[in-house]
């Protein structure tokens, strides 16, 4: 495996505010990576740094082994679609797609036309007059039809309805299996996207909180439900992610349980429930805040 | 299933890409300016006829319609085009993954192309204007004032050069805005004002007004326009330097 993105000790500060601080990670070729985190965590800044649109204050970024800033060779292989993309006044949907067709060497016009049909994008409408969902659809179409070796999608489906989101997941998976590439996806809808993600990066307050394979993460945490006393007895001294009590019942989310630990928990009369990626990340980011 | 491979794209193609994106919506840069220019001309033409009707048998001075600034509108409109290019199109094109360098070069080529189109176009209309003896009423719209006596090729050159100045000057001021926002613009124009007053003061102090007057009066429009090229090129370099560190909005 080769890394498409390698980030080392990256920092970006605006005056006294650190948008990204001391972040290191790498993203492997031909994988789908989720970049997750709360609003203002630094997801967009990270993507802008990786695509050379923003300048690093410290640290190093390598994309396809090179510095992406003002690097036409790297940028031609990269597509970055973001929710807040600026469009020139008077630009209609068709103008945007025409521009994308010129800009991306692997652009598939037939595929783009099919997506326009399926997402029902009004190409003759001005971008400014489109609904948020329609603008997002244009972004999604660019992200898919550009067939860029590295595709970064920043909140690609803000405002999209459930049907359009399903359509997007299906197309992304299908096109990804036919034309493997590296995809970085930032999203709030973690559970929805969870089945797509092979790797997860979680950022919080500009720092990297988690960097793990999605499958590994799913196995790391477990929720135990039982009487208040038995839950407390079992959880004491273990890394607790979350704790809830209703009446005499308690549930606790723990990480780092071995199979033997789980057997012990069952023996202690506790019920084991899996933890969704979303729950895990929510409790982790909350924990980071409190710490 | 095979992994995607991206073909290499040469610099010239990438610059052409920026150019084509600018042209993706030709209304803002070509159709609208020409339509408005024609509109302004037709209004002027109507006013000339109105004046002639009102004057009746008394007639008007033969040079009554020789002074007109209607065409200057399109020159200033190009400042707007330049500002749009730096502000919105920059964020769009660089946001989609072009380098700032390719964007700047493509935009510079666009500016040169548009300047030539408008310069030559206006000169062509000036030719028509002369052939029809001022649209039949001695009205000089496209080449009024001192332009009226210049050869047509000079008219084309002067308009083209002034337009280039508007484009590159405008885009450099816009680049100041993109980099430093409203405060940058305030500081920029304050510095320009201080510089102008300082040079006026220096000229007065050195009692050099005669020399300045001779310098300008000794030169015709085309020489002055050619001198603006120095400022235009300098503005281009400054604009590029500013844009190298600019980040797209959004």
Q: pLDDT tens across A132-160, in order?
A: 999 999 999 999 999 999 999 999 988 89
Q: How many CA atoms lie within 13 A of A93 on its CB side?
A: 25
Q: Which helix (H) or strand (E) holds B221?
A: helix B221-243
Q: Note whether residue B82 is domain-resident.
A: yes
The alpha-carbon gap from B50 to the nearest alpha carbon of chain A, in Å, equals 37
Q: Residue A1: pLDDT band by 50, 70, 90 thresholds?
A: low
Chains A, B: CB pairs < 8 Å: 120
Please indicate, yes or no, if residue B1 is contained in any of the structural domains.
no
Q: Decide if A46 contacts A75 (C-beta within 8 A).
A: no
Structural domain count, chain B: 1
The per-residue pLDDT for range B48-105, each reduced to its tens digit, is: 888 888 877 777 777 777 677 778 888 888 888 888 777 888 889 999 989 999 999 9
A227 close to B (CB below 8 A): no
B 175-214 residues inside an 8 A Cβ radius of A: none
How large is the ipTM? 0.85
Instruction: From chain B, pick out residues whose CB is under 8 angstroms from the CB of A92.
Output: 25
Query: Among the listed ranges A85-89, B147-151, B192-196, which one has the minimum average pLDDT value?
Result: B147-151
The fraction of chain B above a pLDDT of 90, given in percent, is: 31
In a domain, B248, yes or no: no
Residue B4 covered by a domain:
no
Q: Decide if B229 is inside a domain.
A: yes
A80-108, pLDDT tens digit by residue?
A: 998 888 888 888 999 999 999 989 999 99
Whether residue B53 is contained in a domain is answered as yes
A201 touches chain B (CB under 8 A): no
| Residues in B touching A29 (Cβ below 8 Å) | 3
* Entry pTM: 0.85
B32 close to A (CB below 8 A): no
- B226 domain-assigned: yes
pLDDT (0 to 100) of residue B119: 93
> Over 90: is that where the pLDDT of A110 sits?
yes
Average pLDDT for residues A230-246, to the nearest whole number?
A: 83
Neighbours of B152 (CB within 10 A): 15
Classify A255 as helix, strand or coil. Answer: strand
Complete domains list, chain A, with CATH: 3-205 (3.40.50.300), 217-290 (3.30.70)
Kindly state whether residue B119 falls inside one of the protein's structural domains.
Answer: yes
Mean pLDDT of B193-198: 94
Model confidence at A288, pLDDT cuts 50, 70, 90, reads low
């Amino acid at each position: 495996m080769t890394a498409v993105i390698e980030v080392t000790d990256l920092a970006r500060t605006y005056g006294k505010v650190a948008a990204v601080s001391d972040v290191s990670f790498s993203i492997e070729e031909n994988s789908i990576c989720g970049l997750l985190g709360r609003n203002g965590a630094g997801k967009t800044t990270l993507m802008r740094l990786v695509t050379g649109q923003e300048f690093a204050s410290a640290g190093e970024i390598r994309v396809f082994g090179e510095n992406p800033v003002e690097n036409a060779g790297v940028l031609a292989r990269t597509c970055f679609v973001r929710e807040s993309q600026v469009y020139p006044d008077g630009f209609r949907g068709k103008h945007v797609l025409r521009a994308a067709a010129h800009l991306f060497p692997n652009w598939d016009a037939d595929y783009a036309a099919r997506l326009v049909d399926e997402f029902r994008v009004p190409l003759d409408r001005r971008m400014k007059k489109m609904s948020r969902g329609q603008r997002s659809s244009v972004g999604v179409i660019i992200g898919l039809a550009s067939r860029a070796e590295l595709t970064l999608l920043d909140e690609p489906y803000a405002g999209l309805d459930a049907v359009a989101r399903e359509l997007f997941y299906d197309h992304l998976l299908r096109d990804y299996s036919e034309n493997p590439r590296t995809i970085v996806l930032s999203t709030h809808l973690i559970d929805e996207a969870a089945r797509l993600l092979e790797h997860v990066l979680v950022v919080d307050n500009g720092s990297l909180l988690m960097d793990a394979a999605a499958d590994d993460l799913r196995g790391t945490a477990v929720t135990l439900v039982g009487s208040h006393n038995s839950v407390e007895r079992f959880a004491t001294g273990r890394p607790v992610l979350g704790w809830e009590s209703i009446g005499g019942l308690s549930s606790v989310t723990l990480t780092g349980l071995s199979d033997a630990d789980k057997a012990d928990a069952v023996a202690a009369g506790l019920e084991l429930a899996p933890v969704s990626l979303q729950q895990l990340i929510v409790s982790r980011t909350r924990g980071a805040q409190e710490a | 299933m095979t992994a995607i491979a991206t073909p290499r794209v040469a610099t010239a193609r990438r610059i052409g890409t920026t150019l084509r994106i600018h042209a993706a919506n030709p209304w803002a840069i070509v159709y609208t300016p020409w339509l408005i220019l024609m509109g302004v001309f037709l209004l002027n033409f109507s006013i000339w006829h109105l004046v002639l009707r009102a004057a009746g048998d008394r007639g008007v001075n033969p040079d009554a319609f020789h002074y007109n600034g209607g065409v200057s509108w399109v020159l200033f409109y190009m400042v707007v085009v330049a500002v749009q290019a730096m502000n919105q199109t920059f964020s769009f094109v660089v946001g989609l993954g072009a380098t700032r360098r390719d964007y700047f070069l493509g935009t510079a080529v666009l500016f040169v192309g548009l300047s030539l189109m408008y310069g030559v176009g206006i000169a062509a209309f000036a030719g028509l204007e002369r052939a029809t003896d001022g649209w039949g009423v001695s009205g000089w719209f496209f080449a009024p004032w001192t332009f009226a006596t210049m050869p047509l090729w000079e008219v084309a050159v002067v308009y083209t050069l002034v337009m280039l100045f508007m484009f590159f000057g405008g885009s450099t001021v816009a680049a100041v805005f993109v980099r430093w926002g409203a405060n940058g613009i305030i500081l920029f124009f304050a510095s320009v004002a201080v510089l102008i007053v300082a040079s006026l003061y220096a000229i007065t102090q050195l009692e050099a007004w005669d020399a300045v007057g001779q310098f300008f009066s000794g030169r015709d429009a085309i020489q002055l326009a050619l001198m603006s090229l120095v400022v235009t090129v300098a503005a281009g370099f400054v604009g590029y330097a500013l844009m190298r560190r600019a980040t797209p909005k959004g």
